[in-house]
Chain A
Amino acid sequence: MAELNKEKFQTVGKDLAQSQSISRPSITYWKDAWRRLKENKVAMVAMVVLILLAIMAFAGPAMRPFDYKTGDILDFNQKPGSLHWFGTDDIGRDLWVRVWRGARLSLFIGLTVAIANIVLGILYGGVSGYIGGRTDLIMMRICEILGSIPYLIRVIMIMVILGSGVGTVILAMTVAGWVGTARMIRGQVLQLKEMEFVMAAKTLGADTSRIILKHLVPNTMGILIVNLTFRIPSAIFGEAFLGYIGMGVEPPEPSLGILSQKGTNMILIEPYQLASPAIVISLLMLAFTMLGEGLRDALDPRLRK
């Protein structure tokens, strides 16, 4: 091995000006996340599919001159064709109009329930985590007990009392569904409360509202958005399930669950009646799930390299 001596080394020197300069443009968390999401082809496809589905859900029913609740009884069980693009059901209602109207309802229910769940979850979990101590213990025990009743059973119990309808479906799923979100938020708050940057902010004299708004909320936003995108498909599924077992929204309002249920009854004779609602609901659920996965990868700071 060659001998090492002083002559072989030389000082590189340090350039104070250079060490202070920023070599790359600084990008915000959201820009970074968006860049990462754009690279994820699956998530982008899911997003495009979702946008298309959303456009169809709003524009679809208006594209055909048919009504969703009354059909031409002479036109019953028509196979898909140039007049009825998705065919007609057993009393002659146009399925194109009904399926897209159902999709719109699913999107509406999915979004409302997801947002309501998150708001309740933030309130409950935030209070529980922020106050801590005995309050936290009791509030979390309540969560644990409620959480051990299966979600759909919680929904059904509430639906039994409230009766069917769009409002009651939303209410039942909101009341039944916040537990998971509350637990998650509480975990986040507990974790963030002890973080160095919160301590630093406190030391610098920031008041509670500033800490919550400037430090705690932005740091949970990513996880909240991911949670939102996963809550939406589960709410859409919940509604479809309720509609399917006959507890969902009131007829003649079409929902994807009710349409699928009617389709299943006709599967031996007119399978196309199941095909359209089933494909639309599957696409909706798939697209939301894929987008959610993409968002989780893009927003979750733990995956950063």
Chain B
Amino acid sequence: MGRYVLKRFGLMIITVWVIATLTFFLMHAIPGDPLSTDRGMPPEVRKNIEAKYHLDKPLMIQYAYYIKDLLHGDLGLSLKYKTRTVNSMLMNGLPASAKVGLLGMLIGVSVGIFLGIIAALNNKGFLDYLVIFIAILGMSVPSFVFASVYQYFIGVKLLWLPVAGWEGPKYLILPVASMATFYIASYARYMKTSMIEVMGSDYVVTAKSKGLSHTAVIIKHVLRNASVPIITFIGPSLATSIVGSFVIESIFGVPGIGKFFVDSVKQYDYTMILGTTLFTSILVVLGYFISDMLYGVVDPRIRLDK
């Protein structure tokens, strides 16, 4: 186990480094420099600013500074708002994003797993087709479409909930529901496929033939084994949900990372875009790492093969 953890951890560090390096050189491949937008800037001021941010040094030195900053958890400055750092923007956005994302994910995953179990137990029955239909619909209709549908019918037509904004728990419901829709759809499918696979396996046949009751087989053998692959999906889902959804946040005016990312794209705020990209990637890589570890804990077979 120790070797396995170490290997995965090493790979994670390398991945983060590759992403950071790619990000850095991508940022420098963009034509123009961060200060070229300020036309009226006197050369002396420009020189001072360049010195302050090490922009006057060779690329490799800049890269060293960048990595040093990164190791201190500093993602740099915004191009558009000279006084704000990428960190402060991310930290401002994180609570709202995490609230909507985590709630939406938790609700979506639980409902999805529940629906998946129902579908698997009614394989080829009406409920199964219904669940699979909902799942395919939820997975193939883009999130901005169903977010807008919720917003229009529940917010505009029925006036049950506020259309957009961020003032209280009421404002959470629609974005969380939109977020959950996608997770419901995907987890219902994962769970169903996984259940069906386990239900056809030899040890389930054995359990049945030694006279265990249907419920005991399902709970003790099928559910436990079928949830193993689901765990691998939850780690990355957790990571991406914390950062929030670009689209859903813009639609409902949630002041989170996603919305602010879309805003920085619209304002060509490169350092912000790349800073957020880096932040998200690191979270996702971390999510994969955690889920790999969990997978190793839950399923000892994984550790055995190298």
Contacts and interface: CB of A to CB of B under 8 A. Distances in A.
Contact of A156 (B15, B22, B142, B273): B273
B294 interface: no
Given A271-B156, A278-B145, 18 more contacts: A144-B15, A145-B15, A145-B18, A148-B281, A150-B280, A150-B284, A156-B277, A157-B274, A245-B247, A245-B250, A245-B261, A246-B262, A264-B144, A267-B151, A274-B148, A278-B144, A288-B140, A289-B139
A285 B281 contact: no
Interface string A69-82: 00000000000000
Contacts of A27: none
Which 6 pairs from chain A and chain B are nearest by CB? Answer: A285-B140, A278-B145, A289-B140, A282-B141, A286-B140, A145-B15
Given A145-B18, A150-B281, A264 B26 contact: no
B14 interface: yes
Interface in B129-167: 136-137, 139-142, 144-145, 148-149, 151-152, 156, 163
A259 to B, nearest CB: 11
B11 interface: yes
B142 A285 contact: yes
A264 B253 CA distance: 12
Interface of A: 141, 144-145, 148-150, 153, 156-157, 160-161, 233, 237, 240-241, 244-247, 260-261, 263-264, 267-268, 271, 274, 278, 281-282, 285-286, 288-290, 293
Contacts of A141: 11
Q: Which of B26, B142, B163 has the most CB of A within 10 A?
A: B142
A160 B270 contact: yes
Nearest to A260: B144
Contacts of A144: 11, 15
A165 to B, nearest CB: 15
Interface string B1-28: 0000000000100110011001100100
B15 A148 contact: yes
A190 B151 CA distance: 49
B141 A286 contact: yes
Contacts of A246: 262, 265-266
Indicate the size class of the contact surface on chain B.
35 or more
Contacts of B144: 240, 244, 260-261, 264, 278
B285 interface: yes
Interface string B208-245: 00000000000000000000000000000000100000
B246 interface: yes
Contacts of B247: 241, 244-245
**Per DSSP, are chain A's interface residues mostly helix, strand or loop, or mixed?**
helix
A181 B137 CA distance: 24
A260 B145 contact: yes
B15 A160 contact: no
B163 A160 contact: no
A282 B26 contact: no
B142 A148 contact: no
A250 B250 CA distance: 21
B30 interface: yes
B200 to A, nearest CB: 12
A274 B30 CA distance: 34
Contacts of A285: 140-142
A304 to B, nearest CB: 15
A267 B247 CA distance: 15
A282 B145 contact: yes
Nearest to B268: A160
Contacts of A161: 26, 29-30
Given A156-B273, A245-B246, A286 B15 contact: no
Contacts of A245: 246-247, 250, 261-262, 265-266
B186 to A, nearest CB: 12
B136 A290 contact: yes
B93 to A, nearest CB: 15
B30 A286 contact: no
Interface string B279-301: 01100110010000000000000
Contacts of B270: 160
A263 B251 CA distance: 11
Contacts of B262: 245-246
Given A160-B273, A244-B247, A149 B19 contact: yes
A160 B274 contact: yes
Contacts of A281: 142, 145
Nearest to A242: B265
Given A245-B246, A268-B156, A153 B142 contact: no
A247 B11 CA distance: 32
Contacts of A290: 136
Contacts of B281: 148-150, 153
Contact of B163 (A156, A233, A268, A282): A268
A278 B145 CA distance: 6
